[in-house]
Structure 1
Amino acid sequence: MDCPECDGDPVPFAVPADLREHAPESAATASICPNCLAVEPAPETDAAAGTDFARVHESFPAGDGGVAFALLVGTLPSIALRKGSARALRERAEREGVDVALAFDRLVDATHEAAVVPGFDLERRVRQLDSLLER
């Protein structure tokens, strides 16, 4: 399956039932593109081989925290409309041991190195996320 945004090779991952409401199209399986960070629904068979979030970036969180973080990245292009999902996903990622601020800092650094070229201004959207979700 190719990324519909940039023709990259997306990283598929299973979405736990309690996070599906935050996934694109409430999908049981989604994917994140290591090139442009697009998060899209994916065929369920794609996640059967396991998830290698390191393909997105070497510092990308792994495991259940990585799933919540990947879905959180997927909220960024429309952060104002998906504030509730963003809050729930950030909290879930943090409960799973992800330092969300550090993970975003490293992902932003990857965009500066042109290792990742998102279809949106990642740095600006992360600032908007922080502003919208100030505790």
Structure 2
Amino acid sequence: MDTPASAATSIRLGPRAGCSRSRILIPVFGAGLPSVGVQLDTFHMNIEESDMAEAIRLAGPRLKHFHAVENNRGVPGTGQVPWADCFAALNEVGYDDLCVFEFFPVDLPVMARRTHTWRQVATSEEVAVGGKRRLSAFL
């Protein structure tokens, strides 16, 4: 619940909804609590949503955090995610916050095991620099 304490500390909650689950979680978490919303992640949306842009529109102002991740966890803008549609939807809902890239290196064995990363698709630098360059075209 929003309390004076949460307002004073500017805490925002945006649990990652596994996208199709976001259809359930958004009404529950967003019911009148401005600091509670959802996080969307294009890697998971690619698996679970038939229309990523519509999922973003559904989240609307309740979208608190956005992960821009390619369908194969490689360099954003080199795979199958419909970035133009996603960024158009982000613009439609007024999202003006962070777009975060995720990178799961195979050279960190514990992280690779926990994230089921079994091959190196791209380097951290390729994801960060290449992803920014490619996705900037949609801003």
TM-score by length of 2: 0.35
Structure of larger gyration radius: 2
TM-score by length of 1: 0.36
